[in-house]
């Protein structure tokens, strides 16, 4: 009887542990791409890309750490895309839903640069450079 009880307890314990492990795993068979309210859904069709360099207007020296934000003109599309420039002032964004955007570039110690009515076409990679002026 003792052996049977031990086997029953071990089976129950294994089932409990395995069941807990299963519930902790991502349910990839339900939805392979999890989305949160904070993260926009990835585009399913053709996408656009944009890249550029952020530099000082006076001498074209690169500005590292500038924040570049693309804001869709279509208010229904709430996805706001942002990236920071690297040490050479370069930045790149991909997988952008095609459409019209505004671009806002900010960096500490510099005035902001805003460009509006920028059309990003499916399959395209648009160059969007920005020259910033030091704050007075």
Question: In this model, does residue 19 exceed pLDDT 70?
Answer: no
CATH code of 66's domain:
2.60.40.10
Within a domain: 69: yes
Question: Do the domain assignments include residue 105?
Answer: yes
CB within 8 A of 91, min separation 6: which ones?
A: 51, 52, 53, 54, 66, 68, 83, 84, 85
Find all residues with CB under 8 Å of 124, minimum gap 6, and list them: 48, 49, 98
Q: pLDDT class for 44, splitting at 50, 70, 90?
A: confident
Beta strands, E only, the chain:
48-56, 67-72, 81-84, 90-96, 99-106, 113-120, 125-127, 130-132
DSSP for 18-42, written as a single string? HHHHHHHS--TTT-SS---SSSPPP
Residue 52 lies in a domain: yes
Mean pLDDT of 45-51: 94
**Tens-digit pLDDT profile for residues 84-134:** 999 999 999 999 999 999 999 999 999 999 999 999 999 999 999 999 999
Say if 27 falls within a structural domain: no
Domain limits for position 66? 48-127
Say if residue 27's pLDDT is above 50: no
Task: Specify if 7 maps to a domain.
Answer: no
Q: What pLDDT is recorded for position 5?
A: 55
Structure tokens at 135: 């704050």
pLDDT at 34 over 50: no
The count of domains in the chain is: 1
pTM, rounded to two decimals: 0.66
| Per-residue pLDDT at 45 | 84
Rounded average pLDDT over 19-37: 36
89 falls within a domain: yes
Residue 61 exposure: Cα atoms within 13 Å on the Cβ side: 5
Q: Is residue 1 part of a domain?
A: no
């Amino acid at each position: 009887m003792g052996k049977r009880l031990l086997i029953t307890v071990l089976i129950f314990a294994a089932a409990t542990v395995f069941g807990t492990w299963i519930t902790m795993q991502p349910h990839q068979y339900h939805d392979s791409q999890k989305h949160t309210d904070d993260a926009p859904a990835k585009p399913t069709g053709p996408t656009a890309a944009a890249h550029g360099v952020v530099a000082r207007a006076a001498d074209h020296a690169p500005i590292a750490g500038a924040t570049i934000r693309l804001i869709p003109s279509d208010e229904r599309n709430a996805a706001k895309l942002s990236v920071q420039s690297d040490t050479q002032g370069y930045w790149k964004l991909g997988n952008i839903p095609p459409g019209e955007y505004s671009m806002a570039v900010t960096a500490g110690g510099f005035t902001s640069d805003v460009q509006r009515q920028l059309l990003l076409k499916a399959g395209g990679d648009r160059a969007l450079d920005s020259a910033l002026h030091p704050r007075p």
